[in-house]
Amino acid sequence: MTVSRRNFLGASGAFALISASTVSGRTQAASIPEAATMKDSATQPPYAPATGPDYNPVVTLNGWTLPWRMNGDWKEFHLVAEPVVRELAPGMIAHLWGYNGQSPGPTIEAVEGDKVRIFVTNKLPEHTTIHWHGQILPSGMDGVGGLTQPHIPAGKTFVYEFQLMKSGTFMYHPHSDEMVQMAMGMMGFFVVHPKDPAFRRVDRDFVFLMAAYDIEPGAYVPRIAEMTNFNMWTWNSRVFPGIDPLVVAKGDKVRIRFGNLTMTNHPIHMHGYDFKVSCTDGGWVPESAAWPEVTIDCAVGQMRAFDFVADNPGDWAFHCHKSHHTMNAMGHDIRTFIGVDTKEAGKRIRDLVPDYMPMGTAGMADMAEMEMPLPENTLPMMSGWAQFGAIEMGGMFSVVKVREGLASGDYADPGWYQHPEGTVAFEWTGEARDAARAPGTGQEANLTVVRPGTHQNNINN
Ligand SMILES: [Cu+2]
């Protein structure tokens, strides 16, 4: 973090002596807190509270939490709306709009009952506002440009003040030229921790927002008028293999929270577990009312959190279940050639286009392994490697890595899972099944299953 917490709080402590807490918000607001900024797109360590009630801070996937200062009994934050450069994954950057150096903006974390004062400085070329999605607050603090406040002109700073009425999972985004500003990446997470630190407490708490961009290969700026045909499906403005793994210690209670600011729904699926929705942007789901799922559909404008106990170690795929949302840009426009004899067609097309190479006649998997020449600043449709080969994914995909013996607070990538002997799918090397079947009897012959490195099983069907 570019602002050390000690300096930040030290400065605010000095200021608090001068300004009595009885002074009205407007007078206190005369001094603007420093706006921390982040240059890095790696997941930053959780930001533990040094003052106020205890809570377990969240981990923002490929993101960070905004530092604050206390000013009397107000918790003060400073967001700067501005153009940013965001790496979507190694090999591709995007010129977006965001907050404090990144898209999405930093996560805001506070506690139920806190009085928050949020300074918003507009360094965009046009006006903006911020809407605090899901918060119960005075109408004039709701951030709807024209309706509840004047738009914040370029170059100006506005102040939002409200008390956090309930704990839960929220977000912030502009309510001002929304189509452009959200298509450009303006959004952030807002977590309000319960006053009672024991309430629904978990050991690890991950958050991310979903955003979709349409960025042509070789381009840097999203097409802001696009409504359906997006080609970059992101979690926190990152795509696989640029999304960090979610690292979890075996036995941890884990929460994963996400919100959807794209233009379509995302069925979010995690392997290896069942889990329950614990929280929405409307509040906590009573434990007695939660039902088991392995996929949670998150509609546009919604937020969902699910909880599970990490008792099943492994490398567990975690992704949107729309298969086109686990792909990146290059190759989206490819035609279907499965089953087509492209030899003749290919020859004829090469007369016109010398480098032409028909692809995908047996599926598209070969594309993931091929080192295709790419235009500048884009990403292949499917990529990523693991211990057994190409993962053939992109977009909204990551891996939940559940490991034994991780220290609490250790989020470092532990590498690939070391599977216990005899627990990996393996090639069957016995006789061909059709030949072994006695014709006409309906009886199946003995099948010999050889587990690599272990023993031999005779399965008698
Ligand atoms: Cu999706």
| Residue 193 alpha carbon to ligand 1 centre in Å | 28
In what helix (H) or strand (E) does residue 458 lie, and over which residues does it extend?
strand 456-459
CA of 169 to the centre of ligand 1 (A): 20
pLDDT tier at 169, thresholds 50, 70, 90: very high
Give the distance (Å) from ligand 1 centre to CA of residue 395.
9
**In the predicted structure, residue 63 carries a pLDDT above the cut 90:** yes
Distance 259 CA to ligand 1 centre (A): 12
- Which pTM does this prediction carry? 0.84
Token pair recorded at residue 237? 């403005």
Cα separation of 246 and 20, whole Å? Answer: 43
User: What is the layout of strands, in order, in the sheet containing 188-193?
Assistant: 108-111, 188-193, 168-173, 131-133
What's the gap in Å between 292 CA and the centre of ligand 1? 21
What separation in Å is there between the alpha carbon of 339 and the centre of ligand 1?
A: 28
Residue 22's contacts (CB-CB under 8 Å, 6 or more residues apart) are 72
Instruction: List the beta strands (DSSP E) in 197-313.
Output: 204-213, 232-235, 246-249, 253-260, 266-270, 275-280, 283-284, 292-293, 295-298, 303-309
Q: Quick one: how many helices (H) and strands (E) in the chain?
A: 6, 26
Tell how strand 447-450 and strand 456-459 pair up.
Answer: antiparallel
Q: Calculate mean pLDDT across residues 287-299.
A: 95
Within 13 Å and on the Cβ side, how many CA atoms surround 214?
Answer: 13
Please tell me the distance from the alpha carbon of residue 226 to that of residue 228, in angstroms, as a whole number.
6
Ligand 1 center to 299 CA (angstroms) = 10
β partners of residue 361? 363
How many angstroms does the Cα of residue 240 sit away from the middle of ligand 1?
A: 13
Helix (H) or strand (E) holding 315: strand 314-320
Backbone φ and ψ for 140, nearest 5 degrees, come out as: -75, -5
CA 204 to ligand 1 center in whole angstroms = 24
Closest CA to 310 of 277, 268, 270: 270
Q: Are 209 and 189 in contact (CB under 8 A)?
A: yes
Kindly give the distance from the C-alpha atom of residue 63 to the centroid of ligand 1, in angstroms, as a whole number: 20
Cα–Cα dist 83/28, whole Å: 29
Range 322-349 average pLDDT: 71
DSSP track, 368-426: HHS-----SS--BSSEEEETTEEEEE-BSEEEEEEETTPPTT--S---S--PPTT-S--
Task: Provide mean pLDDT across the span 238-246.
Answer: 96
211 Cα: distance to centroid of ligand 1 (angstroms) = 10
Instruction: Report CA(390)–ligand 1 centroid distance (Å).
Output: 21
What mean pLDDT is reported for the chain? 86
Report the range of poorest mean pLDDT among 50-64, 195-209, 393-407. 50-64
pLDDT for 351 equals 73
pLDDT at position 2: 41
Give me the residues paired with residue 437 across strands.
Answer: none
Rounded mean pLDDT, 393-416 = 96
The CA 343 to ligand 1 mean position distance, Å, reads 36
- Distance, CA 408 to ligand 1 centroid (Å)? 31
Say yes or no to pLDDT of 242 above 90: yes
pLDDT class of 23 with cuts at 50, 70, 90: very low
CA of 225 to the centre of ligand 1 (A): 20
Report H helices in 91-148. none
Please write the tens of the pLDDT for every residue from 74-95. 999 999 999 999 999 999 999 9
- Using the mean position of ligand 1's atoms as its centre, give its distance from the Cα of residue 267 in Å: 6
Q: What is the pLDDT of residue 17?
A: 33
Predicted local confidence at residue 227, as pLDDT: 83
Nearest to 76 by CA among 136, 134, 16, 155: 16
In the reported structure, the alpha carbon of residue 320 is separated from the centroid of ligand 1 by a whole-number distance in angstroms of: 5
Please state whether beta strands 59-60 and 188-193 pair in parallel, antiparallel, or not at all (unpaired).
unpaired
Where does 74-223 show beta strands of DSSP type E?
74-89, 92-99, 108-111, 115-122, 131-133, 157-163, 168-173, 188-193, 204-213
Q: How far is the CA of 443 from the centre of ligand 1 (A)?
A: 45
The token pair that represents 286 in the structure block = 């009573």
Question: Rounded to whole angstroms, how far apart are CA atoms 329 and 213?
Answer: 10
Q: What integer is the mean pLDDT of 158-168?
A: 98
Q: Is a pLDDT exceeding 50 seen at residue 6?
A: no
CA-wise closest residue to 33 among 3, 63, 55: 3
3-state secondary structure at position 331: coil
pLDDT number for residue 50: 85
CA of 266 to the centre of ligand 1 (A): 4
Report the separation in Å between the CA atom of 89 and the middle of ligand 1, taken as the mean of its atom positions.
18
Please state which of the ranges 334-338, 432-436, 440-444 shows the lowest mean pLDDT. Answer: 440-444
Strand pairing of 204-213 and 59-60?
A: parallel
Q: How far is the CA of 297 from the centre of ligand 1 (A)?
A: 9
Count the Cβ atoms, other than its own, within 10 Å of residue 183.
Answer: 25
First to last CA, the chain: 62
State which residues have CB under 5 angstroms from ligand 1, the bound ion. Answer: 266, 320, 322, 325
Question: Cα(254) to centroid of ligand 1, in Å?
Answer: 22
How far does residue 440's CA lie from ligand 1's centre (Å)?
Answer: 48
Query: Exposure string (b/e) for 219-240, b if CB count within 10 Å is 16 or more?
Result: beebeeebeeebbbbbbbbbbb
108 token code pair: 């805001």
The yes-or-no verdict on residue 198 having pLDDT over 60 is yes
Q: What is the pLDDT of residue 383?
A: 84
| CB neighbour list of residue 58: distance below 8 Å, 6 or more residues apart | 46, 65, 107, 109, 189, 191, 205, 206, 207, 257
